[in-house]
């Protein structure tokens, strides 16, 4: 089976992990801050806080922004469930804004319409979580402008988008947001096994997230309420969690970062080749904003179902039967039983609904060989010509 995504682990990665395993501290040592610095320097942001997953990063971001009961958070229906769950962890409500038909990202026009209505009804969101689906940035300039007009926070879900650029800045620089998060799950652009990171230019938010990641505890004497009882002393100020990443994982991340640009370049080469060799088939190849640079985490094709005799499910099954490890990113969150029980209906998200009827993610990973890519292309071509 040619998988839809796959990590790349080199000898350098293995050596980096082994040397941390042989060091004194395998967690709460130097590798975590070194990993954070490597990423904050790369994206150009003042604070980076590493955690054990992007899900944790999203949860802590919501907590640090004070999202809680009575608040509403909006995100895209076409995302992994974690982008919505994070608001619910905090006791807030969730709602969705339909996607744009070209980029499959949260649509800024729908967002503006929905904000106008919410303002009249006094139900404006406390935060919006735009998701950079497939590694292509959302229209952050427009979303940022709306945040100023309507007063909401922006948490970018950049799980797919480390290495991508928007308006000549790296995704993660938070030029148009309060916070951005990355994921280092093995199918993502770089990996630490499990892992995530929060980026922010706001020092207060950063300090809060750093505390919340480790039980809400501080060891900084300048921040303490009481005079220190002695060298053992620490204070808990918030109800935090243990969302720390280990130094073993951070060592892997530091080593992976050395190949980030190569990975993204290679993904772009593969994507351009797919574009050229698939464009005459009865599918819609992914739209790419010519002004920005995507990390090409996923390559999503959309079937033109009125031009082929097979159904979406039949094409998908036929690809799997031919050992092409296709996937579907994503089942719309509002139709997950946990969410549909809250009363969500896809009638309110027609673009997302149409996307779900047609989308297939085909294999895309930086170590994919030309042979493997040719196999994928020839099998898709054969199936769609039936």
Q: Which residues bind ligand PLP (CB under 6 A)?
A: 53-55, 79-80, 82-83, 131, 157, 159-160, 183, 185, 196
What percent of the residues of the chain are helix, what percent strand, and what percent coil, each to the nearest 5? 40, 15, 45
What whole-number distance in Å separates Cα of residue 10 and Cα of residue 188? 16
Contact 363, 324 (CB under 8 A): yes
Q: How far is the CB of 183 from ligand PLP (least distance, A)?
A: 4
Report the residue number, 217 or 328, with the smaller CB distance to ligand PLP. 328
Q: CB atoms < 10 A from the CB of 23, how many?
A: 14
Q: How far is the CB of 137 from ligand PLP (least distance, A)?
A: 13
**DSSP secondary structure string for all residues of 355-378:** HHHHEEEEP--TT--HHHHHHHHH
Q: How far is the CB of 314 from ligand PLP (least distance, A)?
A: 27
Tokens of 223: 């921040």
Report the residue number, 160 or 211, with the smaller CB distance to ligand PLP. 160
Which uninterrupted H or E stretch holds 284?
Answer: strand 283-284
Report the residue number, 78 or 308, with the smaller CB distance to ligand PLP. 78
Contact 140, 291 (CB under 8 A): no
Q: How far is the CB of 76 from ligand PLP (least distance, A)?
A: 9
Report the residue number, 74 or 281, with the smaller CB distance to ligand PLP. 74
Q: How far is the CB of 329 from ligand PLP (least distance, A)?
A: 8
Report the residue number, 161 or 303, with the smaller CB distance to ligand PLP. 161
Report the residue number, 52 or 173, with the smaller CB distance to ligand PLP. 52
Report the residue number, 103 or 183, with the smaller CB distance to ligand PLP. 183
Report the residue number, 138 or 315, with the smaller CB distance to ligand PLP. 138
CA 30 → CA 23, 248, 294, distances in Å?
10, 10, 31
Q: How far is the CB of 52 from ligand PLP (least distance, A)?
A: 8
Contact 360, 326 (CB under 8 A): yes
Q: How far is the CB of 323 from ligand PLP (least distance, A)?
A: 24
Q: How far is the CB of 378 from ligand PLP (least distance, A)?
A: 29
Question: In the 3-class helix/strand/coil scheme, how is 285-300 assigned residue by residue?
Answer: CCCCCCCCECCCCCEE
Phi/psi-derived region of residue 85, left when phi > 0, alpha when psi is between -120 and 50, beta in every other case: alpha
Three-class SS of residue 59? helix
**DSSP secondary structure string for all residues of 104-150:** -SB-HHHHHHHHHHHHHHT---SEEE-B-GGGPPP-HHHHHHHHHHH
């Amino acid at each position: 089976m040619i998988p839809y995504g796959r990590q790349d682990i080199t000898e350098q990665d293995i050596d980096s992990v082994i040397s941390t395993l042989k060091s004194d501290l395998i967690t709460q040592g130097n590798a975590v801050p070194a990993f954070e610095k490597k990423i904050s320097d790369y994206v150009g942001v003042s604070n980076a806080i590493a955690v054990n997953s992007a899900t944790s990063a999203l949860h802590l971001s919501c907590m640090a922004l004070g999202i809680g009961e009575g608040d509403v958070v909006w995100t895209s229906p076409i995302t992994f469930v974690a982008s919505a769950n994070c608001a619910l962890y905090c006791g807030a409500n969730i709602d969705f804004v339909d996607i744009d038909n070209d980029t499959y990202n949260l649509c800024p026009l729908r967002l503006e319409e929905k904000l106008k209505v919410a303002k009249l009804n006094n139900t404006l969101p406390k935060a919006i979580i735009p998701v950079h689906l497939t590694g292509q940035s959302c229209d952050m300039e427009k979303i940022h402008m709306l945040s100023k007009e309507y007063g909401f926070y922006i948490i970018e879900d950049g799980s797919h988008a480390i290495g991508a650029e928007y308006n000549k800045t790296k995704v993660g620089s938070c030029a148009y947001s309060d916070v951005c998060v990355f994921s280092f799950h093995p199918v993502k652009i770089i990996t630490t096994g499990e892992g995530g990171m929060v980026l922010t230019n706001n020092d207060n938010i950063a300090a809060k997230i750093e505390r919340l990641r480790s039980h809400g505890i501080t060891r900084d004497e300048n921040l303490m309420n009481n005079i220190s009882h002695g060298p053992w002393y620490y204070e808990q100020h918030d109800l935090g969690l243990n969302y720390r990443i280990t130094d073993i994982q951070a060592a892997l991340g530091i080593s992976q970062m050395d190949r980030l640009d190569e990975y993204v370049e290679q993904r772009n080469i593969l994507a351009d080749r797919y574009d050229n060799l698939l464009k005459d088939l009865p599918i819609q190849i992914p739209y790419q904003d010519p002004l920005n640079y995507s990390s090409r985490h996923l390559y999503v094709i959309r079937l033109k179902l009125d031009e082929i005799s097979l159904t979406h499910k039949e094409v998908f099954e036929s690809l799997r039967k031919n050992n092409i490890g296709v996937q579907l990113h994503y089942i719309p969150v509002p139709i997950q039983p946990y969410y549909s029980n809250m009363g969500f209906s896809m009638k309110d998200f027609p673009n997302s609904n149409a996307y779900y009827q047609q989308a297939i993610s085909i294999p895309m990973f930086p170590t994919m060989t030309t042979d493997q890519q040719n196999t994928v292309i020839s099998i898709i071509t054969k199936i769609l010509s039936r």
